[in-house]
A and B are shown apart, each in its own frame.
Chain A
Amino acid sequence: MSKPIVATTSLAGCFGCHMSLLDIDERILELIELVDFNKSPVDDIKEFTQMCDIGLIEGGCCNSENVHVLKEFRKNCRILVSLGECAIMGGLPALRNNIPVRECIEEAYLNGPTVSGSNPDKILPNDQELPIILDKVYPCHEIVKIDYYLPGCPPQADLIWNALVALVTGDEMKLPYEVVKFD
């Protein structure tokens, strides 16, 4: 029997959830026995090359590129998991959700203490290659169907491990109290 295939991505996230995945320590050796990786920053495969079993999504959707990648994951993964607070509810990037986009951009490129004076021509990022910023940061499940949620900022390594093992073996997932936290 071939191994289940896992894909992962970081949308509007900080890579902390991926770091937490690596935090399973020596169990990483068990993990590569259990599963194969496809599109993921872990192996640097950029495009899906086959249908995957599990897609782990870190980060919510803050721009058009995030939406595109998330929809690709939905198309190419049988099971999608929102990994961490940002994927689940927008997380810290969503702190901007009450602030108009223009105000955010102007703060970042014109008025903020680290930029003021260094952008005399008042140029805002306008290259056509750049993805378009969305009006707010969206939780992944408000864009596509998500099957499972693993909360935490980041989710604890044990939580990610337990979830992967449960998904791969089909056994019920262990959810000890200490392991499911929102911070």
Chain B
Amino acid sequence: MGVIRKLFGDQGRKTEKTPLQDDPERTASHSSTNIVNTMSEKVKFTIDGKACVADKGMNLVDAAKINGIYIPTLCHLEGVKPAGSCRICNVRINGRPMTACTTEVAEGMVIENNIPEIQEMRKIIIETLFVSGNHFCPACEKSGNCELQALAYRYQMMVPRFPYEFEEKQVDATSPKLYIDRNRCILCKRCVRSIKKADGKSIFAIKGRGHKAIIIIDHKLAEAMTDEEAQRAMDICPVGSILRKERGYITPIGKRKYDTTPIGSDIEQNVTK
């Protein structure tokens, strides 16, 4: 990932806390909707020259969304405090590269999103993820519903430009309802940040640091998961790293989420405002 750090620098890392984000991990239910309701001051900004309007303080990914513009995300999850770790949402704001998911929209911002340089950077991130994991899409149950794969389609990755690492990674299939296939984990931490028991306990956690970091699962807590909770965990994982057992390839090819519709096209078609 060194290449990417260099390309993007560290700008946009920090996020200003909004008054609603008192819980460090989770904003009160859905951040965007709450912010819309409580702060009605509007700001004007442009994305690739298009005039846009949104509520002040809104997260840039959501602000773009209501204006019918798709900014790709991987680690970001609506309603959960942004982590800003995958960098796929990089845009240029007033000329500087920033991660959209950690940035609040402000008056007069000039945002560049679908310009060749940004698109190329995003493609580089996607390719890096493909070579640093072991992504055998034809043998993956998430294929067709996978956000990483869908982004590779959207950015027309025919082959990664980097050599495949084929690093050894483990599968943990101890839990009765779920298994983790770390060959496909992109360490977005969506599972860690958002899947909790009612008392706030995390079912997933990260172990180790840097290159050695892996996702682990609390088997005791996972054992008590309902089918719905297991499904939610699987849906929250953008890739095929958290999968429900005994499901297999349940949706036929052609009917899966991204078989015929590119990721983000729903946003680009449905301008909700």
Question: Per-position contact with B for A58-96: 1 when CB-CB < 8 Å, else 0?
Answer: 000000000000000000000000100100111110110
Q: Which residue of B lies closest to A148 (CB)?
A: B158
Over the window 114-146 of chain B, the binary record of Cβ atoms lying under 8 Å from chain A Cβ atoms (1 yes, 0 no) is: 000000000000000000001011111001100
Task: Choose among A95, A148, A178, A182 the residue with the greatest number of B CB atoms under 10 Å from its CB.
Answer: A182
A95 & B139 in contact (Cβ 8 Å cutoff):
yes
Contacts of A151 in B (CB 8 A): 158-159
Q: Which bracket fits the contact residues of B?
A: 20 to 34
Taking the closest CB of chain B, its distance from the CB of A46, in whole angstroms, is: 29
| In the complex, residue of chain A having the shortest beta-carbon distance to the beta carbon of B154 | A177
Q: A98-B166, A149-B159, A177-B260 are in contact. Are A182 and B139 (CB under 8 A)?
A: no
Contacting residues, chain B, for A148 (C-beta < 8 A): 158
Stretch among A49-57, A111-119, A136-144 lining the B interface: A136-144
| B90 CB within 8 Å of chain A | no
Cβ–Cβ contact B138 & A153, under 8 A? yes
**Contacting residue for B159 out of A88, A91, A153, A178, CB 8 A:** A88
Contacts of B262 in A (CB 8 A): 177
By the criterion CB–CB under 8 Å, are A178 and B259 in contact? Answer: yes
CB within 8 A of A92: which of B139, B153, B166, B169? B139
Q: Does A180 contact B (CB under 8 A)?
A: yes
Q: Using an 8 Å CB-CB cutoff, how does the interface string of A151-173 with B read, 1 for contact, 0 for none?
A: 10100000000000000000000
Q: Please give the number of chain A residues whose Cβ is less than 8 angstroms from any Cβ of chain B in the complex.
A: 28
A31 near B: Cβ within 8 Å?
no
Say whether B156 contacts A180, CB under 8 Å.
Answer: yes
Residue pair A182, B137 in contact (C-beta under 8 Å): yes
Contact A175 B136 (CB under 8 A): no
Q: Is the CB of B166 within 8 A of A136?
A: yes
Apart from the given pairs A92-B136, A94-B166, A141-B159, 20 other A-B contacts in the complex at a CB distance below 8 Å? A82-B159, A85-B137, A85-B138, A89-B160, A95-B136, A95-B139, A98-B166, A98-B169, A139-B159, A142-B164, A146-B159, A148-B158, A149-B159, A151-B158, A177-B260, A177-B262, A182-B137, A182-B138, A183-B138, A183-B143
> What is the interface of chain B, defined by CB distance below 8 A to chain A?
134, 136-140, 143-144, 149, 152-153, 156, 158-160, 163-164, 166-169, 253, 259-260, 262
The 19 sampled A-B contact pairs (Cβ below 8 Å) are A85-B138, A91-B138, A92-B138, A94-B164, A94-B166, A98-B169, A142-B163, A142-B164, A146-B159, A149-B159, A150-B158, A151-B159, A153-B137, A177-B262, A178-B259, A180-B158, A182-B143, A183-B138, A183-B143
10 nearest A-B residue pairs (beta carbon) = A153-B138, A182-B137, A98-B168, A149-B158, A97-B166, A149-B159, A183-B143, A183-B138, A183-B137, A88-B159
